[in-house]
Structure 1
Amino acid sequence: MIKNTKLIFSFFYFKSIIFFLAIFISQVNSETSITAKSGDTLFKLSNQYGIPLKELMHKNNINDANKIVEGKVIIIPLKDNNNGKDFEKEKSNNDLLKYKVKEGDTLYKIARDYNVSLKSILSINNIDNEYFLKPNQIILLPKETVYKKANNEDNILIASKKVSYHQTSKEEELSYIAKIHKVPIEEIISLNQLNSRKKVKPNTKLKIRRNKTIKWLKYGSLLINWSDWIYLDGNYITQAKSIKNKSFFLAISCEKRALNNTLKDSYWTSWYFPNIDFEFKIINDFCEQD
């Protein structure tokens, strides 16, 4: 009888040790695992469990937060109440806004439209600046961001102040050209000795403002003619010179926050985003200056 009592006691003692050991291990690991259900993505699970998306992506070694992970075992980090300060460094999903990507969106365009740094968007979504956005994709933005209405009038505002010439790519109404540049039609007619008050033929370069003193500004290894910008289909073109004194054309798209040039073999390249400090400065000086 005594032997049986000792056996029963030993059994319960052993189970108690296992129970407390399990609790201890779960507290140390501070994470659990689930099997993802139909339609689950890391973005959805981060909202469901209140875990920062970046941490969830890192734990599961998954780079696409919108990828369907149905059937996969997903590690869910648990909130640690004893070390809450560590989580304060990460923005919770309550501090973020969801943005649905539209056709034609780029990371640079979204950053500009919402007046937030590109670096913040890249960090929050755990992506790099070469990441390709897809229509209807959801990305996260800081909650304090405010949509800054960036429409075609931005281009018109710049054209009205900084552009000396207007280049047509198709037949255009003279009244439309005058409206873009905020100058009287009569002034355009006089400067260009036009006979018509109506339409301008394609591939016509019109002088918009009277000659100014040519002003060349140095940006890094480039010299840029800052006084003779040409407006063409919402983009801006001027002459520039390389460090070897080679002349070429430089183009700026304020909408894309991108550059283009004819430095290589006198042909336009593809639009490219700035990588060097002076390239960022060129865009900022032209597109942001009053």
Structure 2
Amino acid sequence: MQRKKTTIILIIIILSIFSTFSDKFKEHSIKDGDNLYRIARQYNIPVTELCKVNNINQNSVLKKGAVLKVPNTTTSSALQKYTVQKGDNLFRIGLKYNITVDKLCKINAFDESVNLYPGKIIQVPANDDDKKTIYKSSDTVIHPVKKENSVRPVVVQSYFYHLMQKGETLYQLSKKYKTEIRVIQAANNLTEKTVLMPGLRLKIPQGSTRKFIDYSLPLAGRVVPYVKSHYRGVVVFSDKENAVVTSVDDGVVSYIDMRSGYGLIVFIKHANGLVSTYSGFSEIYLKKDMVVKSGDPIGKPGVISKQSDPAILFSLQDGSRALSFDMAAGKFYK
């Protein structure tokens, strides 16, 4: 009899522990293409919290089939009313309250085609802190980047040709074209003993300075210039499955939106005054005002136009001016 009582008590304790666990956590089975940032966004929690409860770090390798504990953070009581404003859409409201469009639709029992007219009342999570992030970037701060560290002046040589006339010398040419004798010699493989015959065709270097921005592209792959009346940048096509777009420098997320023809857009403002722009995502991992470091994941590239490979539109802005891209150097320049 005593043994039966003990067994019953143990069962009750075990069930109580299990119930407490299920109340606090749910389980996520790792699938192909999963990463910590995507899982954190799916469940609307910081990636640092996801790492903490699973005793892993942000660089841990996730194996397919492995199971992660995911904290339960959303309850029906943690909701508040929100009045739709002019210009609102599901995506923007989701960003503001750190919730996915799918979850926003679910808690309001409507779908993505809902008419969000100004004044409409909907339910949103109770936390209205606009600066709450989808995940924290290791609680880092921006390391100021000096302009001279990221802008690399490079002399790009171009040439025109001069036909030697009778009696002309290299000294005369150097004065005429405002260059140095040794520069003309080097460009034409001349020595002190070379005889300059009339009719000899000489290359005259014309140096122009391009200040290259010493940034790597945010996505590895094939680069195609993309210049339109309203846009100047490049398209980067990736041939890798599950490719991730990364930030080109330390900075702060200054703008996130969805625009027709461009898809999901992210702007990151950097300490050197430049703004890097990324568009065409299929999904993003960031939130406005988030601090990022160079190499931090931004999101997953989408499919641009009818191209089969995932791609991203990328540009660098210096104030209101879009910088040009040098295909040979693989860099933007001022």
Normalising by the residue count of structure 2, what TM-score does the alignment of the two structures yield? 0.28
Whose RCO is larger (CA < 8 A, sep 6+)?
A: 2
Determine which structure has the larger strand proportion and give its number: 2
Determine which structure has the larger helix proportion and give its number: 1
Normalising by the residue count of structure 1, what TM-score does the alignment of the two structures yield? 0.31
